[in-house]
Amino acid sequence: MPKADGKYFEFDDEDQINPDFLETFPFDSPTQYIMTETDEFSAVCPFSGLPDLAYVKIEYYPTGGTSSIKSTKILFCQFSKCGYLSGRGNQADL
């Protein structure tokens, strides 16, 4: 993990993000479109140590399982104290 430039702010490594917080349950409805979005996603920029805000949009057709909004929010809360490059986010990150 890179160190913050200039003044140093304490933050966790992204290894501290526990994907097990995302609770899923069986739900098979391949014709039902699910979309969740938020502009409240935050992480810590690993270069400056300052807050890094992002817009997140999740879209999918559930084939086998889904998760609740509450579970997704709990997972996202973990990012707010971790050094993470949100600009590199893609489907594989979540």
Choose, from 15, 45, 77, 82, the residue flagged as catalytic. Answer: 45
φ, ψ at 59 (rounded to 5°): -130, 135
Q: Please give the pLDDT value at position 92.
A: 46
Which domains are present in the chain? 14-87 (3.30.1130.10)
Q: Please give the pLDDT value at position 27.
A: 92
Cross-strand pairs, 34: 60
Choose, from 12, 52, 82, 93, the residue flagged as catalytic. Answer: 52
Q: Write the Ramachandran bin of 17: left for phi over 0, alpha for psi from -120 to 50, otherwise beta.
A: beta
Residue appearing with tokens 């997140």: 56
Question: 71: buried, middle or exposed (CB in 10 Å: 19+, 13-18, 0-12)?
Answer: middle
Percentages of the chain per state (helix, strand, coil), in multiples of 5: 20, 30, 45
- The question of whether 5 is a catalytic residue gets the answer no
Residue appearing with tokens 């707010």: 80
- The question of whether 52 is a catalytic residue gets the answer yes
User: Tens digit of pLDDT for each residue in 14-71?
Assistant: 888 888 888 999 999 999 999 999 998 888 888 778 888 888 899 999 999 999 989 9
pLDDT band at 6 (very low <50, low <70, confident <90, very high): low
